[in-house]
């Protein structure tokens, strides 16, 4: 108990519990995971809100993210500076959204952001191509990629503007049977 008290105050822990889907124990565990990435950078005392950021290289090397083709996007979306460098808050936020408890809408919102590579609030063809190439490790031919992207837009684009908006995406993803079971990271 003793060292728990020194990392966070009770208020901080309560606040984190209000803001994430984690229990106290999980928050502490996440903190240790975060700290283990760079013990020399992260202090053991967070009561005074130290301004610590871990670079993307460290975040991306976590075993949970290491093999994910979208790891860079995930880190970028959840980091405050948009470049993948994360504070503890961002870190908690990320795993909260990716936890099992997070509702579908929240997950869909962030999934959209992750797949929106150029941050223009639309998933356009280039985003789809990037996604597909990451998923298949460039093993599809150009024609195939083009066809799949066209099919996707044809299926999901409701307003016919040639790209997917957040509404289109949510409309499509809400029905997906596997979305909830695959879009989460257990930590």
Partner 1 sequence: MPRDSLIPFDNISNEDELTSPHRGRERSQRGEKRDGVYEKKKKKKVTSRRRERSGVDEGGVQLEHERRDKEKRKRKRNTVQARGEGEENHKEREDERKSRKTAKLGKSLRNENSQKIQKEGEEEGEENQEEETEKKPKRKKKHGHSKKEEAEDEGKYELKEETQEVEKKNTKTVAETGLEQESSEDTEEVHEEDKVDQEDHENQVRPCSLSPEELEKLKEAVEERKKLIQSLRGKPWSMKKKLLTLRESQEFVEKYEGALGKAKGRKLYAYKVIMTKKWMKFQRDFENFKTACIPWEMKIKEIESHFGSSVASYFIFLRWMYGINMILFGLTFGLVMVPEALMGKPYGSIPRKTVPRSEEASAMNFAVLWDCGGYAQYSVLFYGYYNDQRAIGWLKFRMPLSYFLVGVGTVAYSYMVVIRTMARNANESGVGDDNSFNFSWKMFTSWDYLIGNPETADNKFASITTSFKEAILEEQENRKDDNIHLTRFLRVLANFLVLCCLAGSGYLIYFVVRRSQKFALDGLENHTWWERNEVNMVMSLLGMFCPMLFDVISTLENYHPRVALQWQLGRIFALFLGNLYTFIIALMDEINVKREEEKIIKFNITMWESNLYNGTGSENGTTVSPIIIQPADVPRGPCWETMVGQEFVRLIISDTMTTYITLLIGDFIRAVLVRFLNYCWCWDLEAGFPSYSEFDVSGNVLGLIFNQGMIWMGAFYAPCLPALNVLRLHVSMYLQCWAVMCCNVPQERVFKASRSNNFYMAMLLVILFLSTLPAIYTIVTIPPSFDCGPFSGKKRMFDVIQETLESDFPSWFSKVFIYASNPGLVLPFILLMVLAIYYLQSTSKSYKEANVELKKKLQTQNEENKKKNKQAALKAQLDLEEAQKVASQAPKPRYKSEKFCYNSLSVTEKCQQTKT
Number of residues that bind partner 1 (CB under 8 A): 72
Contact with partner 1 (CB under 8 A) among 39, 69, 83, 119: 69
Question: Are the CB atoms for 99 and 123 separated by under 8 Å?
Answer: no
**Is residue 58 close enough to count as binding partner 1 by CB under 8 A?**
no
3-state SS track over 6-34:
HHCCHHHHHHHHHHCCCCHHHHHHHHHHH
Binding residues for partner 1 restricted to 114-143, rule: CB under 8 A? 115, 128, 131-132, 135-137, 139-140
Pick out residues in 73-92 that bind partner 1 (CB under 8 A): 80, 87, 89-90, 92
Stretch that binds partner 1, among 1-9, 39-47, 53-61, 94-102 (CB under 8 A): 94-102
* The 3-state secondary structure of 33-57, one letter per residue: HHHHHCCCCCCCCCCCCCCCCECHH
Which residue in the set 4, 6, 19, 44 belongs to the binding site for partner 1 (CB under 8 A)? 19
Pick the stretch among 1-9, 38-46, 52-60, 154-162 that binds partner 1 (CB under 8 A): 154-162
> Tokens 């490790």 identify what position?
137
Q: Which is nearer to partner 1, 52 or 148 (CB)?
A: 148
3-state secondary structure 67-126: CCCCHHHHHHHHCCCCCCCECHHHHHHHHHHCCCCCCHHHHHHHHHHHHCCCCCCCECHH
Tell me the closest approach of the beta carbon of residue 20 to partner 1, in angstroms. 6
* Residue pair 86/74 in contact by the 8 Å Cβ criterion: no
Instruction: State which of residues 106, 118, 119, 126 lies at the interface with partner 1 (CB under 8 A).
Output: 106
**Structure token digits, residue 6:** 């020194």
- What DSSP assignment string belongs to 147-176? HHHHHHHHHH-SS-SSSB-HHHHHHHHTT-
CB under 8 A: which stretch of 1-9, 30-38, 50-58, 171-179 binds partner 1?
Answer: 171-179
Could you say whether residue 147 binds partner 1 (CB under 8 A)? yes
Q: Which part of the chain contacts partner 1 (CB under 8 A), choosing from 1-9, 31-39, 50-58, 157-165? A: 157-165
Q: With binding defined as CB under 8 A, does residue 37 bind partner 1?
A: no
């Amino acid at each position: 108990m003793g060292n728990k008290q020194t990392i966070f105050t009770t208020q901080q822990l309560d606040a984190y519990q209000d803001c994430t889907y984690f229990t106290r124990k999980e928050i502490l565990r996440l903190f240790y995971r975060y700290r283990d990435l760079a013990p020399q950078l992260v202090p053991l005392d967070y009561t005074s809100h130290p301004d610590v950021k871990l670079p993307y290289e460290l975040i991306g090397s976590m075993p949970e993210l290491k093999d994910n083709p979208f790891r860079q996007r995930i880190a970028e979306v959840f980091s405050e500076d948009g470049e993948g460098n994360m504070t503890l808050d961002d870190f908690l936020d990320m795993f909260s959204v990716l936890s099992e408890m997070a509702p579908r809408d929240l997950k869909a919102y962030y999934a959209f952001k992750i797949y929106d590579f150029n941050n223009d609030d639309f998933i356009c063809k280039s985003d789809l191509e990037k996604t597909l190439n990451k998923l298949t490790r460039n093993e599809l031919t150009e024609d195939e990629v083009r066809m799949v992207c066209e099919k996707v837009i044809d299926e999901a684009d409701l307003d016919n503007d040639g790209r997917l908006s957040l509404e289109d995406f949510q409309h499509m993803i809400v029905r997906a049977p596997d979305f909830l079971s695959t879009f989460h990271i257990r930590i």
